[in-house]
Amino acid sequence: MFQVQDQSLRPLTTAHLAQTMSLLVLSNQELHDKVIAELASNPALELIDERICPECRRRIHGPGRCPVCSRTAVQDEPIVFLSPRDSYRPTRRNSSDDFPYSQEPAAPEDRTTFVLRQLAADLLPEDRELAVYILSSLDEDGFLADPPAFIAQATRSSMTQVKRVLELISNAEPVGLATEGPRQALVVQLHTFPQDDPRVQVACRMIQEQFSELGRGEYDKIARALNVKSRLVHEATEFIQENLNPYPGRAYWGSGREPGTGDPNVYHRPDVVISSNPIEAEGPLVVEIFSAISGWLRVNPLFDKAVKEADEDQSDELNEHLEKANLFVKCIQQRNNTMRLLMEMLVTKQRQYILEGARHLTPMTRAEIADHIGVHESTVSRAVSNKSVALPDGRIIPLAKFFDRSLSVRDRIKEIVREEREPLTDDAIASQLKRDGIRIARRTVAKYRSIEGILPARLRAKKKLSTAA
């Protein structure tokens, strides 16, 4: 009894650490499940539905207005939701449990307003109601639950009006929303890419003519049916997997899988979303770290009180619950804090990459980051693993990609090949790179080439001028 009490009274730092670590590796989805499970099994934990006033950061119960400054409370409640200043210099240490909150939620749940906001400029006033109707009637994958004709009838609108609105919606972020199904969504998304890219052309035909074969991975059959090289079919498939998302409304699809193992059914929502500031393009990036739960997780104060009043014989058990809950909440906070620090660092160091693409990835190691934010490198390692992040351009990449030392070089190679007049050998590419100050061995060029799915010089056809730019 006494021992138990001793143990539970003091939240052991080792236990604390251990649990924080185990929570850190989890993706949001996994953490969500974990929290739900914990809530169910531990009566001392409580999830409360509080909002934060954007102005004075007071907590407000339920929807409504802040009693102090009478501003409307934010609707969505990611626990951590922040927009670090770009000038942020990463030497600062933890600022306790003080999380910054922002007031511009763009959570997936709020799809309707999210899309409407984008449409504001293009939407005719008389179409607005129709747009709202369509957006709110979408099924959970973001597809049309009813055919356009039905919508027209239900809203007493004309077909042309419905089509006009649908077109607008499907071209807004997330592109492909409000289409009839995965296939149509893919087609719409494909239109946003340069049409002269051969991969795009083939991908387009694959989706339109050979969709079920594509789903089954029957690449050879597709190649024959379309009368194109199977190599091209593979490249197109890869392109689809990396750039398109068949379920735009639900989540993005993980592009982190290796080519080949990419199961077209792996989709997930990102753990972090980075978007560029719509107001001032040069301003700070907006970073949202999604919370695993909506609302606030805390130790139930009633339970706390109950424990103190409880009989001696029961209090052991109750205390245990209490301490566990306490620990859990602390660990969650710790996790959030670490994620925040990490993302602030990342956004600051890799701004160029985030905004301008693969070539500008600054090489860095996890150890470096760990040093800067003052945690152990294994902590960073855990925090990075299993997470994905959405970039402003909509691409979803694994967080680990920020640490890919060869990414920028591979991108250069891709560019060199894309712009070559006639097939360059690996050696030629290597020396070309050397001119740009990148010193790598010929053998390595070959390796990168294969990673990028670029054929050897011999097999590369002569480039036509049309492929340029």
Partner DNA sequence: CTATGGCACGGATT
Partner DNA sequence: AATCCGTGCCATAG
Q: How far apart (Å, rounded) are the C-alpha atoms in residues 380 and 366?
A: 6
CB-based contact 28:335 (threshold 8 Å): no
Does residue number 446 form part of the binding site for DNA (CB under 7 A)?
yes
Residue 432 C-beta: closest distance to DNA, Å: 13
Is the CB of 41 or the CB of 365 nearer to DNA? 365
Contact window for DNA (CB under 7 A) among 54-62, 90-98, 287-295, 452-460: 452-460
CB-based contact 361:349 (threshold 8 Å): no
Q: How far apart (Å, rounded) are the C-alpha atoms in residues 394 and 389?
A: 10
Residue 383 C-beta: closest distance to DNA, Å: 11
In the list 458, 461, 462, 465, the residue contacting DNA (rule: CB under 7 A) is: 458
Is the CB of 72 or the CB of 444 nearer to DNA? 444
Does residue number 435 form part of the binding site for DNA (CB under 7 A)?
no
Does residue number 403 form part of the binding site for DNA (CB under 7 A)?
yes
Which residues 6+ apart lie within 8 Å of 80 measured at CB? 99, 289, 291, 336, 339, 340
User: How many CB atoms are located within 10 Å of the residue 226 CB?
Assistant: 17
Closest CA to 249 of 114, 368, 354: 114
Does residue number 406 form part of the binding site for DNA (CB under 7 A)?
yes
Does residue number 439 form part of the binding site for DNA (CB under 7 A)?
yes
Is the CB of 340 or the CB of 382 nearer to DNA? 382
Paired residues of 396 in beta bridges: 390
CB-based contact 456:449 (threshold 8 Å): yes
In the list 427, 436, 467, 468, the residue contacting DNA (rule: CB under 7 A) is: 427
Does residue number 432 form part of the binding site for DNA (CB under 7 A)?
no
CB-based contact 383:370 (threshold 8 Å): no
In the list 359, 444, 452, 453, the residue contacting DNA (rule: CB under 7 A) is: 444
Is the CB of 289 or the CB of 369 nearer to DNA? 369
Strands 388-390 and 272-275, sheet pairing: parallel
In the list 12, 196, 456, 468, the residue contacting DNA (rule: CB under 7 A) is: 456
Footprint on residues 331-370 left by DNA (CB under 7 A): 365-367
Residue 448 C-beta: closest distance to DNA, Å: 7
Cis peptide before 148 (omega within 30 of 0): no
Does residue number 440 form part of the binding site for DNA (CB under 7 A)?
yes
- Residues listed for the chain: 469
Does residue number 449 form part of the binding site for DNA (CB under 7 A)?
yes
Tokens coding 287:
């970073």
In the list 443, 461, 465, 469, the residue contacting DNA (rule: CB under 7 A) is: 443
User: How many CB atoms are located within 10 Å of the residue 402 CB?
Assistant: 23
Closest CA to 466 of 195, 187, 206: 195
CB-based contact 274:392 (threshold 8 Å): yes
In the list 50, 404, 411, 452, the residue contacting DNA (rule: CB under 7 A) is: 404
Footprint on residues 366-395 left by DNA (CB under 7 A): 366-367, 377, 381
Q: How far apart (Å, rounded) are the C-alpha atoms in residues 35 and 120?
A: 37
Q: How far apart (Å, rounded) are the C-alpha atoms in residues 54 and 67?
A: 12
Contact window for DNA (CB under 7 A) among 31-39, 168-176, 231-239, 423-431: 423-431
Which residues 6+ apart lie within 8 Å of 63 measured at CB? 51, 73, 75
- How many residues touch DNA under the rule CB under 7 A: the total is 26
Is the CB of 328 or the CB of 403 nearer to DNA? 403
Q: Give just the sign of the alpha carbon dihedral 72, 75, 79, 84.
A: negative
Does residue number 442 form part of the binding site for DNA (CB under 7 A)?
yes
Contact window for DNA (CB under 7 A) among 78-86, 180-188, 210-218, 434-442: 434-442
Is the CB of 175 or the CB of 445 nearer to DNA? 445
* Long-range own/partner contacts, residues 258-265 (CB < 8 A, 24 or more apart): 259/234, 259/453, 262/238, 264/214, 264/215
| 3-class SS of residue 301 | helix
Is the CB of 101 or the CB of 403 nearer to DNA? 403
Residue 171 C-beta: closest distance to DNA, Å: 36
Residue 415 C-beta: closest distance to DNA, Å: 17
In the list 10, 231, 405, 418, the residue contacting DNA (rule: CB under 7 A) is: 405
Contact window for DNA (CB under 7 A) among 39-47, 89-97, 226-234, 448-456: 448-456
Which residues lie near DNA (CB under 7 A)? Answer: 365-367, 377, 381, 403-406, 423, 425-427, 439-444, 446-447, 449-450, 456-458
